Amino acid sequence: MHQLKIIPATAAELHEIEALARKIWPFAYGEILSREQVEYMLDHMYDQNTMKQELQNGTRFDLLLCENRAIGFISYGPPDERQILKLHKLYLLPEYHHLGYGSAALRHVITEAGKMGCVAVDLCVNKRNERALRSYRRNGFEIVEAIVTPFGNGFVMDDYLMRHTLS
């Protein structure tokens, strides 16, 4: 495994995050969601104005670099009033799966949550995303509850809320 470098993304690098998402999502969700839902969600979640607003509101976007190549990204925070940090996004290009980079990115988020004085890290994962569920469980996350969130255009996010409690 080559060294993973995690760097904060600037507003100027949000285009790179969108491009990565558009490469990764068909692999991540191709067998779980319809093509229409994937395109709809990508268009809304990775809209440049939406991401810039999230950045201004305290959400962090970090690029995952391997040999100076962007191979994925994470998005998290800010902590809520209960001091729980939300991991919004963690995506890697498929050719970088099973190499420890996802776990390293999770450790990074957990470390950052600890620095912020948080008590836990929460994330939502599609109930049918077995690959991600296994990875999160392996990294100390447990299912807290099942949630269905309307996303618009008749689409929903059918997820598990998972939590990693910081010790």
Give 131's pLDDT tier (boundaries 50, 70, 90): very high
Residue 125 lies in a domain: no
Q: What is the pTM of this model?
A: 0.95
Q: What is the pLDDT of residue 159?
A: 98
Rounded Cα distance, 134 and 128, in Å: 11
Contact indicator for 71, 93 with CB cutoff of 8 Å? yes
Q: What is the pLDDT of residue 143?
A: 98
Pairing of the two strands 84-92 and 4-8: unpaired
Domain count, the chain: 1
Residue 75 lies in a domain: yes
Residue 167 lies in a domain: no
Residue 21 lies in a domain: yes
Residue 158 lies in a domain: no
Residue 49 lies in a domain: yes
Residue 161 lies in a domain: no
For residue 14, pLDDT over 70 is answered with yes
| Digit-coded pLDDT (tens) for 74-123 | 999 999 999 999 999 999 999 999 999 999 999 999 999 999 999 999 99
Task: Return the sign of the alpha-carbon dihedral for residues 19, 92, 39, 163.
Answer: negative
Residue 128 lies in a domain: no
Q: What is the pLDDT of residue 167?
A: 81
The number of residues in the chain equals 167
Rounded Cα distance, 126 and 165, in Å: 20
For residue 81, the enclosing domain spans 4-119
Give 153's pLDDT tier (boundaries 50, 70, 90): very high
> Which CATH number is 66's domain given?
3.40.630.30
Q: What is the pLDDT of residue 2?
A: 83
Three-state SS for 77?
coil
Q: What is the mean pLDDT of residues 122-142?
A: 96
In the predicted model, what is the mean pLDDT of the chain? Answer: 96
For residue 39, pLDDT over 90 is answered with yes
- Which residues, other chains included, contact 60 with Cβ-Cβ below 8 Å and sequence gap of 6+? 8, 74, 75, 76, 77, 112
Give 1's pLDDT tier (boundaries 50, 70, 90): low
- The closest of 93, 78, 72 to 13, measured between CA atoms, is 72
